[in-house]
Structure 1
Amino acid sequence: MEKVSEKVRQIIQPGEHSYVFSKYLEPIAHVKPGEVVEIYTKDAFENRITSEKDLPSQILGDYLNPQTGPIYIDGAEPGDTLVVHIIDIEPDRDWAVSVMKESFGGLTSTDLTPMLQDPLPEKVWIYKIEDGMVRCNDQLNFPLRPFLGTIGTAPEVEALSALTPFNHGGNMDVPDTKPGNKVYLPVRTEGAFFFTGDAHAGQGDGELCGVALEISARVRLKFELIKNKEIKWPRIESDSEYMVVGSARPMEDAARIAYSELIKWMEEMGWDKFEAYQALTQIGKLHVGNMVDTYYSLVAKIDKKYTKLD
């Protein structure tokens, strides 16, 4: 994990959080490239569900995934790339929550995939966070693996829901947006207008029931700008892998976006397009971030050791 000795500036949302990614909102802060900031985020339910008796239909309003932002990145212009160094994600409380919500999830009918069977019953699970574990009971007992469910910049024209992942980033729900990794995001408006939220204490591939281990968190980030470097879709870099996230429906289109954009990244490294296609055919990796949101998110990956050219 990246070590940081710089002075850290705290950013807390004044007033209401945003439920859209939009350039039409007033920035809550201006941040210079290279500046380290600590951002407070609420959980996906705006911290409203606190016990197993708090059923979502009785507690929640019409919106989910409150975002902290927008944060204006000084010097960011359309056509640049914003690089977000995820330094640390620390739970802001000692518990996480997950729920089974009516008409939401990967194995039930939803608003976008309607069917005639009755909704699944609502249920709430509260997990205790301690000693590097997230524990509800003897069966539901998992390692703490924090990451950012939503991270993105403002689209060029439209405002997009905080539930939606797309080419701006957004609600991708990919566990690769974790401490130690860098997230590359397109800049499509002056200042980039960066948002983040929906921190998770962990999640399996697909976010199957639609709700991960939801937490409020303090997120430590550092921003970098790559000037005049345009990317179409979010990229992620770890110590060992290059990754691209594609978000679409049907799921196979998300896979095609992720793999084709990874090929473009390899071309920037000096690869021939069809050699890269062949390499990913033989050694590429693909996993599902979410299979429950307005668009599905898939991550295409390649180990860095295979991208080195003689």
Structure 2
Amino acid sequence: MDWLDHSLMGKKGVAAGVAGAAHSLTIEDQKTFHYVYGPYADPVLEVDPGAVVTVETHDAFEGKILSAADKPSEILQFPFLNPQSGPIHVRGAEKGDALAVRIISVSPRGPQPVGTTCLIPEFGGLVSTGQTAMLNAPLPEIVKKVVVDEAGVHWSDTLTLPYEPFIGTIGTAPEIEAISSLQPDYYGGNMDLPDVAPGAIIYLPVNTPGGYLYVGDCHAIQGDGELCGVALEIPATVVLQIDLIKGHGNAWPQLETEEAMMFIGSARPLEDAARIAYRELVRWVAAETGQSEEEAYMLLTMCGKVRLGNMVDPKYSVGASILKRYLV
């Protein structure tokens, strides 16, 4: 039996994890991309739970960096970065529910070299920024264009990195705020967590009727922390299966794979992001296993794992997880 049958989506989803009608959302269909997560945009697509949606996304730069000779500071207009496809309205979704989004595939899209990474002035994990203001001069602007296919990331003539795609920015609309797509928070957003990858299911809190799912900012590969502030950004074709869990009630994103369960927290300082993620995981483990929260707390001291998403955005993201085999 497939592990999906035993997943939260399979056990609790309105569609019980069964694939429903197929939909497509192309660049041409989208027309206008969004730079905030919020409830005020008109949905570009309305689907029933179970829908399988193929979405075309731009890279984080909306395709504006074309060559290694380009200077991001001259081409990009902050804060109009991280263009998002959507929002997708899911029928029946209400506040207190969760969207269950199974990531089926993430494929590079467009002419080669399709991948872009770069150094941007006063942006990154090891440089001065607006929040950590220093007198030293910014690093030089450097752009690297990379051929990416599903066989690998062709970094140089002598080095091919693995193709390890994931969705950098995915989430639902906040209830009242309109928040930059550069920022992660309780609704998801720009978490830049490599685990949000094909084969995983992410559970996102519904804060407004219809949920309003946004997606964009796909990456071909990224190390923990997204160290220089930019991963290998790619335009992509993403296939998602979207279900709905009524009354799920989680306040923060939850991610499930065949082997593990994870919660994702976003905050500054970094330790607060880890605390959020672990607090949510402690509470879930206790509820799932019937242990007290104190017992679950001690269990996670023994076998909890932490994954660093980004340490460069307005808020940092951390995933805290436990292997399912310990949930007895």
Q: Deviations over 1:246-294 (max 9, x none)?
A: 1000000001000000011112212321111111101111121000000
Whether 2:161 is the aligned partner of 1:142: answer yes
The answer to which of 230-239 and 129-138 deviates more is: 129-138
The question of whether the paired residues in 1 share the 8 Å contact of 2:19 and 2:50 is answered with: no
Whether 2:323 is the aligned partner of 1:303: answer yes
Whether 2:230 is the aligned partner of 1:216: answer no
Q: Corresponding residue for 2:46?
A: 30
Q: Deviations over 1:201-245 (max 9, x none)?
A: 010000000000100011100111111221110000000000011
SS in 2 for 1:206: coil
Distance 2:150 2:40 in 1: 42
Distance 1:225 1:251 in 2: 31
> CA 1:288–1:57 in structure 2 vs 1: closer, same or farther (change >3 Å)?
same
Whether 2:102 is the aligned partner of 1:60: answer no
The answer to which of 90-99 and 18-27 deviates more is: 90-99
Q: Corresponding residue for 1:228?
A: 247
Task: Report the number of matched residues.
Answer: 308
1:130 Cα deviation from its structure 2 partner: 3.6
The question of whether the paired residues in 2 share the 8 Å contact of 1:246 and 1:298 is answered with: yes
> CA 1:285–1:139 in structure 2 vs 1: closer, same or farther (change >3 Å)?
farther
Q: One-letter code of the match for 2:97?
A: D
Whether 2:67 is the aligned partner of 1:48: answer no
Q: Corresponding residue for 2:22?
A: 8
1:141 Cα deviation from its structure 2 partner: 3.0
The question of whether the paired residues in 1 share the 8 Å contact of 2:259 and 2:324 is answered with: yes
Whether 2:151 is the aligned partner of 1:132: answer yes
Q: One-letter code of the match for 1:117?
A: N
Q: Corresponding residue for 2:34?
A: 18
Q: Corresponding residue for 1:196?
A: 215
The question of whether the paired residues in 2 share the 8 Å contact of 1:125 and 1:136 is answered with: no
Q: Corresponding residue for 1:277?
A: 297
Distance 2:63 2:18 in 1: 29
- Gap runs ≥5 in structure 2: 5-16
1:7 Cα deviation from its structure 2 partner: 5.5
1:60 Cα deviation from its structure 2 partner: 1.1
Q: Deviations over 1:39-63 (max 9, x none)?
A: 1100000011121011101211121
1:73 to 78, 83, 90: 90
The question of whether the paired residues in 1 share the 8 Å contact of 2:199 and 2:257 is answered with: yes
Q: One-letter code of the match for 2:35?
A: Y
SS in 1 for 2:255: strand
Identity, % of aligned positions: 48
2:109 to 92, 99, 103: 92
The question of whether the paired residues in 1 share the 8 Å contact of 2:82 and 2:181 is answered with: yes
1:15 Cα deviation from its structure 2 partner: 2.1
The answer to which of 247-256 and 124-133 deviates more is: 124-133
1:123 Cα deviation from its structure 2 partner: 0.3
Whether 2:132 is the aligned partner of 1:118: answer no
Q: Corresponding residue for 2:14?
A: none
- Gap runs ≥5 in structure 1: none
The ranges of structure 1 where at least 4 consecutive aligned residues each deviate by more than 4 angstroms after the TM superposition are: 1-7
Distance 2:160 2:125 in 1: 22
Whether 2:272 is the aligned partner of 1:253: answer yes
Distance 1:42 1:219 in 2: 11
Q: Deviations over 1:165-204 (max 9, x none)?
A: 0000000000011011000000000000110000000100
1:65 Cα deviation from its structure 2 partner: 0.1
1:138 Cα deviation from its structure 2 partner: 4.3
Q: Corresponding residue for 1:288?
A: 308
Q: Deviations over 1:129-148 (max 9, x none)?
A: 24521013146531000100
| Root mean square deviation, CA, Å | 1.7
Distance 1:106 1:136 in 2: 21
The question of whether the paired residues in 1 share the 8 Å contact of 2:18 and 2:50 is answered with: no
